[in-house]
């Protein structure tokens, strides 16, 4: 063969490199399997049919998203319970933002909350008129200088937001 002689140690080096890659591949496969098995505990359970559906064992296990929404809603309620006009104003604005965040999380299309609400089927959502009324009150609070909300109207708006969030199964 053209006089090219490959020294024996080159074959030995290639053998050890090949063996090293095989060992690394096996370790990576086992590492992937181990990670997959450990992570399986955190996968979402879609068999339950949603919150309180009664299918296959009742309620689904709460997710981190559920916990965050519940905590945010409790914080909003706590703020509203202070009873001052400013705390009521802020609670209504934050409740509106929570509804918007929930609808974004449900991948309801739209640029603003009003767009997302418009994209919901009004026949499927019983509290639709209520959340629209609360959203209009929030818009008045935000866009009308000096707008003062009556305590009864603020309470009704909070009740409307709560009814909508419960119907959409964002909170219990």
Residue-wise pLDDT for 89-116, tens only, equals 999 999 999 999 999 988 999 999 999 9
CB-CB contact of 116 with 103 (8 Å): yes
pLDDT greater than 70 at residue 126: yes
CATH of 64-167, one of 1.10.8, 1.20.58, 1.20.120, 2.60.40: 1.20.120
Closest CA to 157 of 145, 172, 142: 142
CB-CB contact of 158 with 91 (8 Å): yes
pTM over 0.75: no
CB-CB contact of 171 with 152 (8 Å): no
């Amino acid at each position: 063969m053209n006089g090219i002689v490959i020294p024996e140690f080159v074959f030995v080096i290639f053998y050890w490199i090949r063996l090293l890659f095989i060992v690394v591949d096996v370790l990576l496969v086992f590492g992937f399997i181990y990670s997959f098995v450990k992570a399986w505990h955190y996968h979402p359970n879609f068999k339950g049919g949603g919150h309180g559906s009664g299918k296959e064992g009742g309620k689904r296990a709460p997710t981190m998203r559920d916990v965050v929404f519940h905590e945010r809603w409790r914080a909003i309620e706590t703020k509203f319970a202070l009873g001052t006009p400013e705390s009521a104003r802020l609670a209504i604005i934050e409740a509106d933002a929570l509804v918007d965040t929930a609808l974004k999380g449900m991948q309801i299309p739209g640029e603003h909350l009003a767009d997302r609400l418009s994209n919901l089927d009004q026949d499927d959502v019983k509290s639709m008129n209520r959340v629209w009324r609360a959203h209009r009150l929030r818009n008045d609070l935000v866009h009308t200088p000096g707008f003062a909300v009556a305590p009864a109207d603020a309470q009704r708006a909070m009740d409307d937001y709560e009814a909508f969030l419960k119907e959409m199964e964002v909170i219990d």
